[in-house]
Structure 1
Amino acid sequence: MKEFLKETQPIFYRILEKSFKENKKTHAFLLVGDHTDDIATFIAQSYICHEDTLACETCDNCIRIKEGLYPDMIVCDGKESSIKKSDIDHIQEEFVKSSVENNGKVYILKNIDNATTQAMNSLLKFLEEPVEEVYAILTTKNINKVLPTIQSRCQVIKLLPESKHSLELKLKNEGVDEEDSMVLPHLFDSIEECNEYKDSELYFDVKNYVFYFIEDLYMKPSDLLINLQINLGKKYKKNKEAYALFLNLLVLGMRDMFHVKHSIPVLFVKHKEFFEKMPEDGKILQKIEIILEYAERLNNNVNLALLLDGMVYKVLKGV
């Protein structure tokens, strides 16, 4: 996470590192953005970890915080159910007691915008009189739903939206194959969606069908349609999701075909030699436009088999 923050949230990382290095730890953060959970966990680890300026992420304390097993940490999530006054009262009651670990205490309130008015007011009083060695991390996707008085008592950090590069870094950090770490962010906008597909049979099936399609298109065009019908058409006959994934992956594959002929880096890094073996195609950009056109048509109520047949016919004959 440390390297990920350096790459994707450089300003916030410098603020965080400077405050911890100078021992001027902020008693309350308000993180604003769509994907704040891992960052909130990292901040919590940094408050407790003594192995480095910021969290080392490998010591016993860091691991327990990540796994939700640290005794001096309380987490409430407004996404699961609205945060109530009783939740804030519970935090206050627990945190006036002696620390179990003597390392400080942390509470994380995720999606604080989904808190009752009574909870917000109770939290405000808690923030107004910060207790030494008690740290708050609040998160929200919509800062306009958080009381201005709460905002004023926190260090507000508006996180930069996740880019394809940041998603790629996250996937690589999770041990996802290099090629899939590069491809998945071009298909999906969130780490949750990428993780949903990264190990799925559907994703790997359809990715293979894309390479079969490209090989047939340039080496055995007479077999193109029948092989596609046998592979994708037979196994995923009425699966619109599979067809959409296939067409989107096919666009990326065809773009890599174009890129490799013009010495541009490719997404399918393990298949660079495969693309290099394919013949030059002066009409490849028109073919990509056709595939994109048929991908758009999937949004309508169409016969999937006929749509695929039409796409293949136009790619073979219509340019």
Structure 2
Amino acid sequence: MTEAWNEIADIQPTIMGMLKNGMLKNRVAHAYLFEGEKGVGKREASIIFAKSLLCEQQIDGYLPCENCKNCKRINSGNHPDVHLIEPDGLSIKKEQIKSLQEEFSKKSVEANRKIYMIFNADKMSVQAANSLLKFLEEPSSDTVAILVTEQIQRILPTILSRCQVLSFKPLSPAVLKEKLINQGVNIQDSSIIPHLTHNFEEGIRISNEEWFAQAQKIVVKLYEVLNQNPMKALLYLQEEWFVHFKEREQMDRSLDLLFLIYKDLLYIQLDKRELAVFQNKTGEFETHALHLSQRRLADCMGYILEAKRKLLSNTNPQLLMEQLVLNLQEGSSFV
């Protein structure tokens, strides 16, 4: 019964702690703004908070029982006192807010509160935002508003000032890795992806890309070519690298992957092998790590970060990669 709440509390302990304390102390705000990037639990927290507020058999004064009539109706999306608003097309329109206001002028049907949630609140039209503002200025004692957004900077300051703003943190790499593994993503991808995104949904999408699977192989192969036959590295760029990494965004991802290889070497040197992401290459990397000073390793990582910076400043990607390879070649051959 408490699993859903605890699952969100594991990844957003501060947020869920504040909501819990508000309920226990009977200090529930009339309006909340849940803000943070996609995939960090904002929608899930909104739903479970609504269930907590309306639950007929709360556990410990704040946990929804999941079995009462109110919990079940919220789960099925048809509770008459819980209203969800999402963009109609590209925006949330004034008519949607007006309809909400009319609905909330009536007494609660089944519960002691009425709750409305506005998802993608940053997509309200100017007219809709102004209508909502009037609604927020004269809050009813039995009404709770939950606005949800990924773009807090697009919310009117006057609306922000009338909400309790709760900022959801990005998922930690460890939490995201565990969630990916639980979804059946293999160990290596689950280790690498959290270093590329904090977003669970994007992580799943990346794990399903054949392009990403091939990208890993090509990046590892470049590293191996650099170490086995540095003179062939420039040729490898032409034959394999530029064929696969065509767009600037793809090139940026390739540099992220290359950086993770050198980071693995550093973890091996520091005897923290469990933190390495290319677990299937640990044996090979251990041999390489023995031949590199930490100073040289730091230089290589610096070259890659500098290449990423130059990529953003519209440096020619081909020239950039050729220069990077020349920088990484220095003292890189172990044969």
Instruction: Specify the alignment match of 2:46 in structure 1.
Output: 43
> In the aligned structure 1, how far is the partner of 2:198 from the partner of 2:92?
28
Structure 1 residues 132-169: Cα deviation after superposition (integer angstroms, max 9, x where no partner): 4x532123503872426x744x4x0331543xx53652
Q: Judging changes above 3 Å, is the alpha-carbon distance between structure 1 residues 219 and 70 closer, same or farther for their aligned structure 2 residues?
A: farther
Change (3 A) 1:59 1:224: farther
Task: Name the aligned partner's letter for residue 195 of structure 2.
Answer: H
Match of 1:147 among 149, 152, 158: 158
Partner in structure 2 of residue 137 of structure 1: 146
- Higher mean displacement: 56-65 or 262-271: 56-65
**Percentage of matched positions with identical amino acids:** 25
Indicate which of 213, 223, 242 corresponds to 1:204.
213
Tell me which residue corresponds to 1:270.
Answer: 279
Map 1:55-66; keep pairs closer than 5 Å.
Answer: none
Are the counterparts in 1 of residues 31 and 136 from structure 2 also a CA contact under 8 Å? no
Q: Do residues 288 (structure 1) and 298 (structure 2) align?
A: no
Please tell me the root mean square deviation across aligned C-alpha atoms, in Å.
Answer: 4.1
SS at match of 2:19: helix
Matched to 2:298, the amino acid is L
In structure 1, how many angstroms separate the alpha carbons of the residues matched to 2:260 and 2:247? 20
CA shift for structure 1 position 260: 0.9
CA contact (8 A) 1:32 1:139 kept: yes
Q: State whether residues 33 and 147 of structure 2, in contact with CA within 8 Å, keep that contact through their aligned partners in structure 1.
A: yes
Asked whether the equivalents of residues 42 and 148 of structure 2 are also in contact (C-alpha less than 8 Å), the reply is no
The residue aligned with 1:19 is: 22
**How far apart, CA to CA, are the structure 2 residues paired with 1:187 and 1:284?**
21
- Alpha-carbon distance in structure 2 between the residues aligned to 1:244 and 1:207: 13
Q: Say if 1:209 and 1:228, in contact at 8 Å, map to a contact too.
A: no
**Residue 130 of structure 1: SS of its match in structure 2?**
coil
Letter in 2 for 1:172: E
Distance in 2 (alpha carbons) for counterparts of 1:85 and 1:301 = 42
- 1:261 maps to a residue whose letter is Q
Corresponding residue number in structure 1 for 2:247: 239
Q: Which moved more, 1:171-180 or 1:82-91?
A: 171-180
Separation of aligned partners in 2, 1:196 and 1:91: 35
Aligned-residue offset at 1:250: 0.4
Given the two structures, how large is their TM-score scaled by the length of structure 2?
0.71
2:96 is equivalent to residue 90 of structure 1: no
Given the alignment of the two structures, is residue 172 of structure 1 paired with residue 181 of structure 2, yes or no?
Answer: no
The SS at the match of 1:276 is helix
Give distance in 2, aligned partners of 1:269 and 1:293: 23
CA contact (8 A) 2:234 2:325 kept: yes
Change (3 A) 1:80 1:171: farther
Are the equivalent residues in 2 in contact too, given 1:256–1:268 (CA < 8 A)?
Answer: yes
1:74 counterpart residue number: 83
Please show how residues 206-225 of structure 1 align to structure 2 within 5 Å: 206-221=215-230, 223-225=232-234
Q: Which blocks of at least 5 consecutive residues in structure 2 are unaligned? A: none
Q: Output the CA distance in 1 between the equivalents of 2:42 and 2:12.
A: 10
Check whether the contact 2:83–2:115 (CA below 8 A) recurs between aligned residues.
yes
Q: Aligned residue for 1:297?
A: 310
**Count of aligned pairs between the two proteins:** 310
Q: Partner letter of residue 309 of structure 1?
A: E
- CA gap of 1:12–1:228, structure 2 versus 1, over 3 A, is same
Assess if the C-alpha contact under 8 Å between 1:4 and 1:169 holds in 2: no
Q: Match for 1:208: what amino acid?
A: K
SS at structure 2 position matched to 1:135:
strand
Shift of 1:207: 1.6
8 Å Cα contact 1:106-1:135 kept in structure 2: yes
Matches of 2:66 and 2:276, distance apart in 1: 30
Q: Following TM superposition, by how much is the alpha carbon of 1:230 offset from its aligned partner in structure 2, in angstroms? A: 3.2
What's the CA shift for 1:117?
5.0
Contact 1:218 1:279 survives alignment (8 Å) = no
Contact 2:173 2:194 in 1 (8 A): yes
1:169 maps to amino acid: V
| TM-score normalized by the length of structure 1 | 0.74
Deviation at 1:61, TM superposition (A): 7.9
CA separation of 1:24 and 1:47: change in aligned 2, threshold 3 A: farther
